[in-house]
Homo-oligomer: A and B are copies of this chain.
């Protein structure tokens, strides 16, 4: 009885989000800023990965900024501010994902034309963020070796709506008995040909490849099969 109404309301929300995201995408393109949405489970290491990304891109001369989403606390923004780049926290107050409207509202006062890259750290959740387009150029799904190898099969939508998969905490691979081949096979089973990087923010591993990807993305050379998702 109730189901059709729920579906209808949900489609209304997603449609409205898609419209806003389309506007954001046009705005980002016109400003020349390349936007990356980072999604993962809670605790997969998004913040550590982003902190290292911001710090090193800044050193390389890129103009970067970040929006970070969490249900509660401003811990991540405080932590990321150490990298010396503009960072804003989006507290969702119980909402389990970021929406285009939250992004739009939190960009106020920022001059996007002065940025090369804008990173969006989504709420830690392998399910709900997959449905919400934020106007990004690419969605990067992070997957920690500590989570095991089967997550791509169990949470297929977030993997098959992403443009790149970043395996994190690779320094713990051995102690976790992480099976690289099985993980890559599972990622490619749900999203054939997606590039997969192996990284460790703690040990500084894999960032050169990540920056190559970002530069290609900015130059339009990387595949963006989901843009306009």
Inter-chain contact A153/B72, CB cutoff 8 Å: yes
Q: How many copies does the complex hold?
A: 2
0/1 string, A115-153, CB within 8 A of B gives 1: 000000001111110000000000000001011101101
The total of chain A residues at the interface (CB under 8 A) is 39
Inter-chain contact A13/B9, CB cutoff 8 Å: no
Inter-chain contact A144/B72, CB cutoff 8 Å: no
Q: Which of A152-196 contact B (CB under 8 A)?
A: 153-157, 169, 172, 175-176
0/1 string, A57-77, CB within 8 A of B gives 1: 000000000000011110100
Partner of A43, one of B6, B41, B70: B41
Inter-chain contact A71/B175, CB cutoff 8 Å: no
Partner of A175, one of B42, B124, B172: B172
Write the nearest CB–CB distance from A180 to chain B, whole angstroms. Answer: 16
A203 within 8 A of B: no
Inter-chain contact B144/A43, CB cutoff 8 Å: yes
A interface residue numbers (CB < 8 A to B): 2, 5-6, 9, 12-13, 16, 41-44, 70-73, 75, 94, 96, 123-128, 144, 146-148, 150-151, 153-157, 169, 172, 175-176
Query: Can you report 30 A-B residue pairs in the complex whose CB atoms are below 8 A from each other?
Result: A2-B13, A5-B9, A6-B9, A6-B13, A41-B43, A42-B147, A42-B151, A42-B155, A43-B44, A43-B148, A71-B127, A71-B157, A72-B155, A73-B154, A75-B150, A94-B127, A94-B157, A96-B96, A96-B125, A96-B127, A123-B127, A124-B126, A124-B154, A125-B127, A127-B128, A128-B128, A146-B147, A146-B169, A172-B175, A172-B176
